Chain A
Amino acid sequence: MLSFIGRRILIAIPTVILVSIFVFTLQKLLPGDPILVLAGEERDPQVIELLRAKYHLNDPLPIQYLAWAGQALQGNLGVSLRTGVPVMQLIKDKLPVTLQLAAMAMCFALLIGIPAGVMAAVRKGSAWDYGATALALWGLSIPNFFLGILLIFLISVQLNWLPASGYVPLSESVSQNLKTMIMPAFVLGNALAASMMRHTRSAMLGVLRQDYVRTARAKGLLEPRVILKHALRNALIPVVTIGTLLFGELLAGAVLTEQIFTIPGFGKLIVDAVFNRDYSVVQGVVLCTAVGYIALNLLADVLYVVLNPRLRTR
């Protein structure tokens, strides 16, 4: 078990290195010279030269990469070329906001998707099943920005129930924070809830046909226990794995959702950095995201094994 996790982490390391090289190279290939941005209106050649030296931009690329990677390993992703704030600091400030949004969206998706999927499978072919399936199709096909704007119009503008924007940090006021986050979380989690429902439904349908479910009934267990213990426990194995992977997608979706609801999170950080050609910030953010994805994949693999006794006890 531990050796499996160890091996899995070892496999992840080359991936991280490749990703970092890719991120680094991509930056170099992008059009626009950040030094010109920094040098200001006059573009004094001496200043430009000094800046280039300061940021090691005259060294050969592999040297630049190693220097950058070495610093990155120590948690130093450089400073924003624009504001001089350490990139790591920016990430530390913004990431929790996005993680909160994504976590809320995930909770919402799990709380809706799994029970709905279980019900749809247990009552297969019923009005409930068709209703849930149709709703899921709607949830998957409606674009986030459209749903977001629709909700802002209905709930904020027409009904005036929740604010459309005006993020309040969690540390300031929990209730105010939740008021501003609940709508974005719903918008972001909507598609995930739909796909969780579909995955849960199909996993449950597969499991309910198994002989061991019949054995559970043969023991005299009542239906709720047969379904929630014997069937769901097995159906959750693939669902949890897929859910972990979809959490990555959720983070990507957060970029757009944050724009709609003007939440100052990771998404806003990325968008601003790209528009300002703030290289070091973009690099740091992309690297951080990529490592996050790899970690999620790792987690999904590990969870799959942890939840599956057939793989766990070998």
Chain B
Amino acid sequence: MPPPSGSPRPEPQKPILSVAGLSIALRGRGRETSLVQDVSFSLSEGRTLCLVGESGCGKSLTSLAIMGLLASPPLEITRGEILFEGRDLRALSARDRADLRGDRMTMIFQEPMTSLNPAFTIGDQIAEAVMRHKGGTAEEARAKALEMLKRVRIPAAEKRLDEYPHQLSGGMRQRIMIAMALVNGPRLLIADEPTTALDVTIQAQILSLVRRLQQETGSAMLLITHDLGVVAEVADEVAVMYAGRIVERASVKDIFDDPQHPYTIGLMGSLPSLSGREERLATIPGSVPAPERMPKGCRFAPRCPFCIPACTEAQPPLLEVAPGHEAACIRAPLEQHVTEAA
């Protein structure tokens, strides 16, 4: 039986971004701590992929690695491939990567309060991005910056051009960051928890602004968030991360209708108990293991209500459990166990 509301989406076009086997480690004093392991996903033109997971699971590191902005040293990509518009980013020269950054691929950061340079005006900082990639005169760049400020709905845009970041609120600063990220019409926008640091009241505004501009410019978006409400609203695809690994990957519909990994299920706040009834869970009990003390087997095992001895022996690989739906759990799909137990 076909899924009820399976609106026939056009078959995903060619991927604009594809990440394969990405691993990131912290190197220092002869030690290497793995922070992100074997992350793979791909994102098609104009689509939105949400990367979800608890704080510290490696979402920002993954997105910084794609942008080529990892603080290296001490952070380093140890393995993997990042293809952007068919080009292997890791093989590009620093100069070629810089040419892409801020132009074809851009990023909005988690920290709007500190992401703008306090010493330069808003106008300067946006115009600088234009001039770096599109050339032209300072006046043209300024006009472009002004137009962009209007598009991100900054009131009194003209006046704001000559103001400094400290004169603006957090929400306004994030709008500036959005303007800066979209002024050159990128093909890929990475938004790393763009609303987490903001007041609840303006989170929705900023999110719908990002969403609207993304659609207007037709760029693909990698949106990092831990708000499942946001995921449900904007995502086409979802990748769930836990402790540096992707544990589940599926379309947004499948993630919500049919989550397969116990961590994803826990994230949803409801876990099918073994008695078959549904129980509300505010949080998943326990905490994420520290990067230096990762369990040998499934990283979720210490917190997983479905854990069996086999889980602690080897890391479960990310396997397809249904077409277009992958999970890294040796017991997936879970329903059969739940129903068997009942």
Contacts and interface: CB of A to CB of B under 8 A. Distances in A.
B117 A215 contact: yes
Nearest to B114: A211
Contact of B117 (A222, A223, A234): A234
B101 interface: yes
A218 B164 contact: no
Given A220-B100, A309-B166, A215 B132 contact: no
Given A211-B114, A220-B102, A234 B119 contact: yes
Interface in B83-116: 94-95, 98-103, 106-107, 109, 111, 114-116
A99 interface: no
Contacts of A218: 67, 69, 101-102, 106-107, 109
Contact of B95 (A214, A222, A233): A222
B101 A220 contact: yes
B4 to A, nearest CB: 42
A220 B99 CA distance: 6
A219 B101 CA distance: 6
A210 B128 contact: no
Given A211-B115, A218-B106, A221-B132, 17 more contacts: A211-B109, A212-B114, A212-B117, A212-B118, A214-B69, A216-B117, A218-B69, A218-B109, A219-B129, A219-B180, A220-B99, A220-B102, A222-B95, A230-B120, A233-B117, A308-B119, A309-B166
Contact of B164 (A211, A222, A313): A313
B187 to A, nearest CB: 14
A210 B99 contact: no
Nearest to B97: A220
B116 A212 contact: yes
9 contacts: A214-B69, A214-B115, A215-B117, A215-B177, A216-B117, A219-B101, A219-B132, A230-B117, A313-B163
The 3 closest A-B pairs by CB, nearest first: A220-B102, A219-B102, A220-B101
Nearest to A312: B164
A247 to B, nearest CB: 23
B107 A234 contact: no
A310 B119 CA distance: 8
B69 to A, nearest CB: 6
Nearest to A214: B69
B133 interface: yes
Nearest to B133: A220
Contacts of B336: none
Contacts, number: 74
Contact of B109 (A215, A216, A219): A215
Nearest to A233: B119
Contacts of A211: 109, 111, 114-115
Contacts of A215: 109, 115-117, 177, 180
A217 interface: yes
A222 B114 CA distance: 21
B167 interface: yes
* Size bin of chain A's contact surface: 20 to 34
Nearest to B164: A309
Contacts of A234: 117-119
Contacts of B99: 220
A299 B124 CA distance: 28
Contacts of A221: 98, 102, 128, 132
Interface of B: 67, 69, 94-95, 98-103, 106-107, 109, 111, 114-120, 128-129, 132-133, 163-164, 166-167, 177, 180
Nearest to B100: A220
A214 B111 CA distance: 11
A237 B118 CA distance: 12
A233 B114 CA distance: 16
A219 B128 contact: yes
Contacts of A220: 98-103, 129, 132-133
A136 B42 CA distance: 51
Q: Which of B103, B116, B118 has the most CB of A within 10 A?
A: B118
A214 B133 CA distance: 17
Contact of A310 (B95, B98, B114, B166): B166
Contacts of B120: 230, 233
Interface string A287-314: 0000000000000000000001110010
Contacts of B118: 212, 234, 309-310
Nearest to B129: A219
B49 to A, nearest CB: 19
A308 B119 CA distance: 7
Contacts of B117: 212, 215-216, 230, 233-234
Contacts of A212: 114-118
A211 B163 CA distance: 19
Contact of B167 (A219, A233, A308, A313): A313
Contacts of B164: 309-310, 313
Contact of B119 (A219, A222, A223, A309): A309
Contacts of A309: 118-119, 164, 166
B111 to A, nearest CB: 5
A233 B180 CA distance: 20
Contacts of B163: 313
Contacts of A216: 117
Interface in A144-190: none
Contacts of B100: 220
Contacts of A313: 163-164, 166-167
Nearest to A213: B117
A233 B98 CA distance: 21
B222 to A, nearest CB: 14
A136 B11 CA distance: 64
A310 B100 CA distance: 32
A37 B107 CA distance: 79
B17 to A, nearest CB: 16
B105 to A, nearest CB: 9
A65 to B, nearest CB: 47
